[in-house]
Structure 1
Amino acid sequence: MDRNDSFREFVAAHQHALMRTAYLLTGDAHQAEDLLQSVLLKVLRRWSRLSHVERPEAYARKALVNQHISWRRRRVWTELLAAEPPDRPHSSEDSTLVRLVMRQALMGLPPRQRTVIVLRFYEDRTERETAELMNCSIGTVKSQTHYALARLRKLAPGLAPKLAGLETEEVYG
């Protein structure tokens, strides 16, 4: 198997999970695709060294987080938030509404806090894993989680029951 074949297998196995993470970080499908494509190019360039690593997807996920933070520092976003979500057919109105409210609330968080929430609760990462991916201390992860959850409660008071107990159990546990 040559280098390109093993990389194709890696992408086939992990692209959906990486795309979900990119989408949750950016909040936009097109930006998520750009982010993932950019990161996969970097991974491909290093594939000869990474293909022998036990978990190359961990490297790719960390690269996603770092690239997203780097892009957020450089770009000025001109996204306009609508007062009401666009009309869409609903499979389950309640779950769709919760997802829309949560997405809008996530977009109201600073990039670092959004990254902590995505990694901790959407990706189900431990504090240690999150700290390693973000290149920071566990204490920073705990404090950023605390501030992010408090901000989410203010941005989307209707989600407070879903966020109840996370801070004391997850952050200070």
Structure 2
Amino acid sequence: MEASSHDDFREFVAMRSTALLRLAVLLTGGDRHAAEDLLQIALMKAYGRWAQIEQPEAYVRQILYRQQVNRWRLRRHRAETTVPVLPEPGGDVGGESDSELRIALWAALGRLTKRQRAVVVLRYFEDLPEGEVAALLRCPVGTVRSTAHRSLEKLRGLVPELGPERPAEQARPLSYTAKEMRG
């Protein structure tokens, strides 16, 4: 790799690694260590082809998605990771702050299946169209639609504050809340 390409890569990592790590954390269900590993693998793969890459961030994000999907496929025979203590269900919604809602949403995302979490992250956090999500996850568009529907229903059950029964002045779409999680 030429010195200028090496410098470009270092600059890219310095500028975008925080945002890419946030995405990796979401894809891994909140496991920061697994997210760091996932990002390192993606950056290593990108480094090897850096001179040919036209859109570096899109390329690295695609590696992140595909690498995580491959991890899920390899672990299909293993059981889901469980937590020893489930979070308490929320009480009165009226006084709940944005940070409490964010924490509840974060915990609820961790309780989705791997495929549900991937669809929610790609559709509502990354704001990708159903067709792109289907291509990334290598499944039909109908599967993305039904998985998104079931995932949102499950999230609304786990975090009632997200449900349609909230008063209009408190209601906020899930995509807006997910984007708030970026910080």
Give the TM-score taking structure 1 as reference length. Answer: 0.76
2:24 is matched by which residue type in structure 1?
Answer: A
Equivalents in 2 of 1:165, 1:74: separation in Å?
A: 30
Matched, 1:10 2:12: yes
Match of 1:137 among 140, 163, 181: 140
Indicate if the aligned counterparts of 2:130 and 2:144 stay in contact, CA closer than 8 A.
yes
Quote the offset at 1:102 in angstroms: 0.8
Partner of 1:48: 51
Matched, 1:114 2:105: no
Indicate if the aligned counterparts of 1:119 and 1:130 stay in contact, CA closer than 8 A.
yes
1:66 is matched by which residue type in structure 2?
Answer: R
Equivalents in 1 of 2:81, 2:134: separation in Å?
A: 30
Greater helix content: 1
Deviation sequence 1:79-100 (CA, Å, 0-9, x none): 5253348xxxxxx962222112
Query: Cα RMSD (Å) of the superposition?
Result: 2.7
Match of 2:42 among 14, 19, 39: 39
The 5-angstrom pairing of residues 7-156 of structure 1 reads 7-26=9-28, 27-50=30-53, 53=54, 55-75=55-75, 76=78, 78-84=81-87, 94-156=97-159
Indicate if the aligned counterparts of 1:61 and 1:133 stay in contact, CA closer than 8 A.
no
Equivalents in 2 of 1:123, 1:56: separation in Å?
A: 16
Give unpaired runs (5+ residues) of structure 2: 89-94, 165-170, 176-183
Question: How many residues align structurally?
Answer: 157
Equivalents in 2 of 1:132, 1:13: separation in Å?
A: 28
Quote the offset at 1:40 in angstroms: 0.8
Quote the offset at 1:37 in angstroms: 0.9
Distance 1:164 1:96, change over 3 A: closer
Quote the offset at 1:39 in angstroms: 1.1
1:58 is matched by which residue type in structure 2?
Answer: A
1:30 is matched by which residue type in structure 2?
Answer: H
Give the TM-score taking structure 2 as reference length. Answer: 0.72
Deviation sequence 1:115-163 (CA, Å, 0-9, x none): 1111111122222332333333333322221121122122333321457
Quote the offset at 1:64 in angstroms: 0.7
Quote the offset at 1:25 in angstroms: 1.1
Q: What percentage of residue pairs aligned between the two structures are identical? A: 43
Give unpaired runs (5+ residues) of structure 1: 86-91, 167-173
